[in-house]
Amino acid sequence: MRKRGLLFALSLLLILATALAGCGTRETSAPNSSQPAINEGTGNTGGDQTLVFGRGSDSVGLDPANVTDGESMKVTHQIYDTLVQYNDEDTTVKPALATEWNVSEDGKVWTFKLREGVKFHDGTDFNADAVVFNFQRWMDKNHPYHHGDFEYYGYMFGGYPGIIEKVEKTGPYEVNITLKEPYAPFLQTLAMPAFAIASPEAIKKHGQDFFKNPVGTGPFIFKEWKKDDRIVLERNDNYWGEKAKIKTLIFRVIPDNAARFLELQAGTIDIMDGLNPEDVQNVKNNPDLQLILRPSMNVGYLAMNMDKKPFDNPKVRQAINHAINKQALIDAFYGGLAKPAKNPLPPTLWGYNDEIQDYEYNPEKAKALLAEAGYPNGFQTTLWAMPNPRPYMPQPQQIAQAIAADLAKVGIEAKIVSFEWGTYLEKTKNGEHDMALLGWTGDNGDPDNFLYVLLDKDNAVKGSAGNIAFYRSDELHEILIQAQRETDQKKREELYQKAQEIIHRDAPWVPLAHSTPPLAARAYVKNYVPHPTGSEALNKVDVQK
Amino acid sequence: MLRYIVKRLVWLIPVLIGVTFLAFLLLHLIPGDPAQVILGERATPEQLEQLREDLGLNDPFLVQYARFLGRVLSGDLGRSIHTHEQIAVELMERFPATLELALAAMFVATVVGVTAGVIAAVRPHSWFDHLSMTGALIGVSMPIFWLGLLVIWAFSVQLGWLPPSGRLSHGIQLETITGLHLVDSVLTANWPAFWDSLAHLLLPAVVLGTIPMAIIARMTRASMLEVLEQDYIRTARAKGLRRGAIIVRHALKNAFLPVLTVMGLQFGALLSGAVLTETIFSWPGIGRYVVNAILARDIPVVQGSILFIATLFVLINLVTDLLYKAIDPRIRLE
Amino acid sequence: MSMFAPIPHAHDSRTPAPASGPTPTRASGPWRDAASRLLRSKTACAGLAILALLLTAALFADVLAPYDPVHDADLYNRLQPPSAEHWLGTDAQGRDIFSRILHGARISLEIGLVSVGISLILGTLLGAVSGYFGGTVDLVIMRLIDILLAFPSILLAIAIVAILGPDLINAMIAIGIVGIPQFARIVRSSVLAVKEMEFVDAARAIGASDARILFRHILPNCLAPILVQTTLSIGTAILDAAGLSFLGLGAQPPQPEWGLMLKEGQSAFQTAVWVVTFPGLAILLTVLGFNLLGDGLRDALDPRLKR
């Protein structure tokens, strides 16, 4: 009896406490209050709702020009706008902070007309001066506010200043960007979240600390950042575009995938990425949850180092292609949420060659090919695996073990080797591996961004190889170079299809899978449209409890 | 006393220099470079070289170390090469979380450990003695990362009673004063935040406190048994003092000294050794921060935080020694 | 982890303790007494029983295990609950967990012996030299040990593994290095106590060399505390190695190491809790075995022994 009384008192206390919490916050959630509002579940049309996004690690920084990780981009995408932006579902470019643009005859001078009346979150005006300031900060190593590394600028534009010769203001709302040489993907590249326009005043004010005091023009305003815990954003009620449906957007860090999924089930977060493949079925079985699939623009592959024996022998490489059961891998370690890959290009990209017949799973054929190649009893080798999950391969260590088991069935004994991520990249670029797992996520939706980067002989240089199969085909090289110079889309498409045939024949890789990285969300989360590049603005997302 | 403290503090300097030097040396021996980690799959050789140059990674080892020491002496731990944030700021943001967890774990460990130890010693060979000492032995043998998974499975997955991760639910406001959530919520009379923080703290604190709890229980029992055999206890008993009074006022007070030493050592270990617990419970503390920095080759961060943790560790040991002296004036310090 | 080394536990200080402590020669008497006391202690016997089980598993895993721990994988039979066919269920690769645990016993014993071997040899050497010669040598060695101790041991182990590369052998080396200070301290204080004894003076008087005195006369008389510490350290080393493997810094797949099995099972533990339950239980039992034996040894060798 006494126990029950205690329980009653405790629950009373809890109810009281909850009620108090409600009162307290209702008082503080007046308009323009700096406190993030709390939804009490009674919100009518979702105008004051909160969305909590659970993810595996914290952002590195919130200065988009200065970060390379997806976790940072995910947040900066909400705070900032770029001059142009991608369509919601693909990589076609549409206006954003620039309303119109045109390019000169020789392809070198781009003129952008800027949107008028846009203000940064700190109240300063967005205009041509701001754009010029941002570009100069990125491209000029001697700029007083060039604090940081600006990796993406260097990578996409070839250094500092790279291919951009100058950026000038030609009117209060007009800028000219002059290139040293024509560069077809220029516009496409400007839509990447790294090239977002930040408030010059805020950059000047915060200097080195701008990364934690981000000010842009985007649909959400930065409120608070508790490191390794949460980032809180709030709706920008003066947004120039479609105003956000939700009032508060919180990104929470929960490193362990299983723990994050628990929080989702408990309803303490509303949406998450990095779902364990084992939990995919749990999401499907739970009526309160939904699965949202990000369209694939990636490939996970097994590269065979052709500089090493016996992988110089095409029969061995084909044998390995026949030995691996891709569908079983996908069912077990992608939760079924991937397509078996037969080409290096993801099927969502233009230029994809669907005519190609994959090497089917056939251990007998693999054994026969090995015997033909002079290895009737197989051989010993190493199989390298990444230490940590990547979007294109959620469980590399498990996948490596399953591949090793497949290979053992045809007589190949593969020892699994792993290094910490940075070392892994370094050593594979150096060609120290026999076979290695790796993958790639596309940046701007151009086949060149896959085929040339990953398989051209230009990139098979020890120490810096993107082509870690060290596959050196002159035949392929000629086609890829021709495709880079070609401006006619139709012809490029044909060239890339031909390129895939050559790659299929020479089999430098076992293309494994094109994953569709899953997000899991509460059923009441509406209009979440994931973008193939990995991050998206969440202004259209709604919470309808 | 003062002379002793000064002497100990002076001794601290060569030890800390040694620690930083060793940390620096270790990090230089580690293959792999931070530039590669930062740039990832896309790195070009030119970019890598450029970044290494910018980060000062191309300078000779001793030059880098000297630069670090110079900065530390001027009170600056430097900035992380990943986040560009000041390391002192990052440490201070995470330290309260670790401190709160360690304090809570130590609290659980002490209360349960000392109580169990005293009862076991007062009634040796009773069922309670056997049960609690068996429990303590299992406790010291516990892989706590496994225990963490199991309690999450039981209390969060199956029963749904307690949250599996984090420090505070998102809907709950809490003003930061000390950074210790329980303290802050009491100071601001914010009871929802208090209960919420407590719920979040419970599982990780019990898990982290398991091993110290077991050690303290065993130590208390052993030490109590010894004290209860002493002449003055017999005298007290002969004088007819009440049993409870004897145990608390005389025996426990004296038996507590070795327990205190153990607590000091354990507390230092908890502050730095909570890596696994922090990982499993997504606790935004210092252990995870340092391990991530080691894995990402963020040399300035590893350097700065090891200096911080080692200083803390050595200081806690000093404080333990001083407390020891304060409680028992018979002990001469060297 | 290793800083949580179990603390002396005067198991039953009411039992009358025979006068033991350093004895001038390695007479068989005290050791035989100790052995019989050990066998009379319930704690020690429980420990010995667990360790016998472990040893059997380690030695005869090939015969006892119903399946191959690595090669009998089947992706179409993964994460199955315990059944007559698979007593402890199957893991994410469809391998038999029971067979993997048996084979893991071998790995765990190896870890314990190799890493504690490293701490034992280096720690004893440093401690003995430090205690015997004293003066500057002592000062330098002990300051080095202080520096090692000021490092949080798990961080030190992680850093060492990061240098050497993630690998089981390297994890053993790291744990071995981290354990050096404990041995050095224990040996040093024992040596300090023993070296003042008469028989040492006698040996010196007949012109024995320092090395001879140290290794033939002093160290044999420090065996008791070293033996206890070794037993307890093996348990701790196994625990630490499992922790490193759990963080991905120890054993590598497809090795059936228990900590690695926990790491690999973690992603499935919500739906398949047996994947993490049994390897964890194996770690717990093994470490418990060594702790029980260590406690028993301590009581048997000298109930009054304190670190």
CATH code for the domain of C280: 1.10.3720.10
Contact B141 C7 (CB under 8 A): no
Mean pLDDT of A508-520: 95
ipTM summary value: 0.82
Structure letter (DSSP) for residue A471: -
C287/B15 Cβ within 8 A? no
What CA–CA distance (Å, rounded) separates A146 from A127?
20
Q: Is residue C118 part of a domain?
A: yes
- The secondary structure of residue A287, as a DSSP letter, is T
Statement: residue B329 has pLDDT above 60: no
pLDDT of amino acid C221: 84
Asked whether residue C6 is domain-assigned, the answer is no
Q: What is the DSSP letter of C82?
A: P
Alpha helices in A334-433, H assignment, sequence order: 363-372, 396-409, 421-429
Residues A57-105: tens digit of each pLDDT: 888 899 999 887 888 999 999 999 999 999 988 888 899 999 999 999 8
Amino acid at C279: P
Nearest to A422 among B37, B46, B190 (CB): B37
Helix (H) or strand (E) holding A175: strand A174-179
In chain C, the residue whose alpha carbon lies closest to the alpha carbon of B31 is: C163
User: Residue C35 — very low, low, confident or very high, per pLDDT cuts 50/70/90?
Assistant: confident
Could you tell me which residue, A366 or B249, shows the higher pLDDT?
A366
The partner residue sitting opposite B195, judged by closest CB among A17, A256, A464, is A17
Residues of B in contact with A440 (CB under 8 A): 41
What pLDDT is attached to residue A44?
Answer: 39
Q: Is the pLDDT of residue C28 over 60?
A: no
Given an 8 Å threshold on Cβ–Cβ distance, is B33 in contact with A426? yes
Residue B307 scores a pLDDT above 90? no
Name residue C295's amino acid: D
Is the pLDDT score of A16 beyond 60?
no
Q: What is the pLDDT of residue A355?
A: 95
Q: What's the distance, CA A1 to chain centroid?
A: 58
pLDDT at A4 over 80: no
Interface size between A and B, measured as CB pairs under 8 A: 143
Write out the two tokens for A164.
């951009």
pLDDT exceeding 70 applies to what percent of chain C? 89
pLDDT tens string B230-253: 777 777 777 777 777 777 777 777
C76 touches chain A (CB under 8 A): yes
Which of A283, A386, A395, A398 to mutate against chain C (most C CBs within 10 Å)?
A: A398
Do A544 and A524 touch, CB atoms closer than 8 A? Answer: yes
Average pLDDT over residues A204-220: 94
Mean pLDDT across B55-76: 80
First to last CA, chain C: 19
CB nearest to B164's CB, from A154, A230, A263: A263
Spell B63-76 as b/e; 16+ CB within 10 A means b: ebbeebeebbeeee
User: A268 at the B interface (CB within 8 A)?
Assistant: yes
CB-CB contact of C157 with C166 (8 Å)? no
Contact A425 B166 (CB under 8 A): no
Measured CA to CA in angstroms, residue A496 lies from A238, A343, A347, A446 at distances of 45, 11, 13, 11
Q: What is the secondary structure of A14-42 as a DSSP string?
A: HHHHHHHHHHHHHHH--TT-SSPP---S-
Distance between CA atoms of residues A284 and A291, nearest Å = 7
Q: How confident is the model at residue B43 (pLDDT cuts 50, 70, 90)?
A: low
Rounded average pLDDT over A446-469: 87
C284/B157 touch (CB, cutoff 8 Å), yes or no: no
Chain A nearest-CA distance from C169, in A, is 14
Side-chain half-sphere exposure of C277, counting CA atoms within 13 A: 14
Contacts of A401 in chain C (CB under 8 A): 73, 93, 253-254
> Two tokens at A526?
């509406």
Q: Which residues of C touch A382 (CB under 8 A)?
A: none
Per-residue pLDDT for C14 more than 70? no
Name the band, by pLDDT with cuts 50, 70 and 90, for residue B38: low
Give Cα separations from C307 to A158, B180, C150 (angstroms): 64, 36, 19
Q: How far is A452 from chain C (nearest CA, A)?
A: 32
Average pLDDT over chain A, rounded to an integer: 87
Task: Suggest the residue from C2, C7, C234 to mutate for an interface test with chain B (most B CBs closer than 10 A).
Answer: C7
Is A103 in a helix, a strand, or coil? strand
Asked whether the predicted pLDDT for residue C2 surpasses 50, the reply is no
How many angstroms separate the CA of residue C146 from the nearest CA in chain B? Answer: 7
Q: Is residue C15 over pLDDT 70?
A: no
On whether any CB of chain A is under 8 Å from the CB of C166, the answer is yes
Q: Are C249 and C96 in contact (CB under 8 A)?
A: no
**Measured distance CA(A18)–CA(A285) in Å, rounded:** 32
Query: How much is the average pLDDT of B14-29?
Result: 78
Position C153 in a domain: yes
Angle at C185 between CA C183 and CA C189, to 5 degrees: 120
Query: How large is the average pLDDT for residues A196-213?
Result: 94
Dist. CA C28–CA C17, nearest whole Å? 18
Lowest mean pLDDT among A386-400, A425-439, B78-92: B78-92
pTM: predicted TM-score of the whole model, two decimal places: 0.81
Mutation choice for B interface testing from A28, A146, A228, A458 by most B CBs within 10 A: A228
At B37 the pLDDT is 65
Q: Which residue of B has its CA nearest to C278?
A: B146
Task: Say if C106 falls within a structural domain.
Answer: yes
In a domain, C264, yes or no: yes
The structural domain count of chain C equals: 1
Contact (CB, 8 A) for A149 and A65 = no
C-alpha distance from A405 to closest chain B C-alpha (Å): 27
Residue C7's pLDDT band (boundaries 50, 70, 90)? very low
Q: Chain A contacts of B167, Cβ < 8 Å?
A: 229
* B266 neighbourhood in chain C, CB within 8 Å: 3-4
Q: Between A466 and A128, whose confidence is greater? A: A128
Is the backbone of residue B108 left (phi > 0), alpha (psi -120 to 50) or beta? alpha
Q: Report percent pLDDT > 90 for chain B.
A: 22
User: What span, in angstroms and rounded, lies between the C-alpha atoms of A323 and A367?
Assistant: 8
Question: What pLDDT band is residue C184 in, cutting at 50, 70 and 90?
Answer: very high
Taking contacts as CB-CB distances below 8 angstroms, the residues of chain C near B145 are 243, 246, 262
Name the H helices within A286-324.
Answer: 314-323
C240 and chain A in contact, CB less than 8 A: no
What span, in angstroms and rounded, lies between the C-alpha atoms of A79 and A91? Answer: 20
- Listed in sequence order, the residues at least 6 apart from A445 whose beta carbon sits closer than 8 Å to its beta carbon are A90, A91, A188, A297, A349, A532, A533
DSSP conformational letter for B157: I
Strand A84-86 with A50-55, pairing: unpaired
**What single string gives the DSSP state of each residue in A513-531?**
EEE--EEEEETTEE-----
Residue C5 lies in a domain: no
- Among chain A residues, the shortest Cα distance to C69 is held by A405
A408 pLDDT above the threshold of 90: yes
CA-CA distance, A503 to B124, in Å (whole number)? Answer: 77
- The more confidently predicted of residues B275 and C17 is B275
Residue C7 domain-assigned (yes or no): no
Q: Is C10 among the domain residues?
A: no
Domain that holds residue C186: 29-66+93-305
Residue A165 per-residue DSSP state: E
Given strand A50-55, what is the order of strands in its sheet?
A220-226, A230-235, A248-253, A50-55, A271-273, A518-522, A289-293
